[in-house]
Amino acid sequence: MLPMLKREVVEKYGWQDEQELLNVFAIGQSTPGIIAINVATYVGTRQRGLLGAIAATSGMVVPSLVIITVIATFFERFKENEYVYKAFSGIRVAVCAMLVVIVVGLARKAVTDNAGWVIMLGAFTLSVIVQMPIYMVVFCGGLSGVLFYSIRARAKSDRAPVVGPEEK
């Protein structure tokens, strides 16, 4: 999705240059919502303000809306069929497999230090075992990130040499 966004936004329409788009990706990942939608909203805002935001976001969303609604209509009708039922028991196995692969991939990128392990395992434990509401787990995750990494930044600067470049 991201290469396509680049092609359309930067090369075809020139709404942003490449560096700006990378910043938009960073913003899109730093806020609530889905990054693809966020990028669309951002570019739309920059181009035409609030109406642009709405237009761009709607554009991203309408194809899914149409396609899924069509599929969902048929799904309801065929769900009762014996073969469909059996097929989906296998399909759920496939979903499980793919999600495992995705989780492993995400974990390798996101969990790079001990704090990461604590946050990831903590989130799993809180949601599955403690059955904490997910919004609370999310909030704790963000808060932990701020706490852990602020403390680490403070500790790093405490350990830095006091003698500065001016004092030779």
Partner 1 sequence: MNYLTLFLMFCHIGLFTIGGGLAALPLMHDAFVESGILTNSEFYDMVAISQSTPGPIGINMATFVGFRNISYAGAVIATIGMVTPSLITIYLIARFVDDFEKNPIVRRSMRGFRTSAVGLIASAVYYVLIQSVINVDEIKEYGVTIDDLLAVVVCVGIGVLYYRTKCHPALCIAIGAIAGVFLF
Closest approach of partner 1 to the CB of residue 103, in Å = 5
To the nearest whole angstrom, how small is the minimum distance from the Cβ of residue 69 to partner 1?
Answer: 5
If the CB atoms of residues 81 and 166 are measured against partner 1, the closer one turns out to be 81
Which residues have a Cβ under 8 Å from the Cβ of 122 and sit 6 or more positions away?
Answer: 140, 141, 144
The nearest distance, CB 163 to partner 1, in angstroms, is: 25
Q: Whole-angstrom Cα distance, residue 73 to residue 160?
A: 63
Instruction: State which residue, 10 or 144, has the beta carbon closest to partner 1.
Output: 144
For partner 1, give the closer residue by CB, 76 or 166.
76
**Smaller CB separation from partner 1, 14 or 63:** 63
For the CB of residue 139, give the shortest distance to partner 1 in the complex, in Å.
8
The least CB distance from residue 36 to partner 1, in Å, is: 5
Alpha-carbon distance of 28 to 40, in angstroms, equals 9
| Cβ distance to partner 1 smaller for residue 129 or 163 | 129
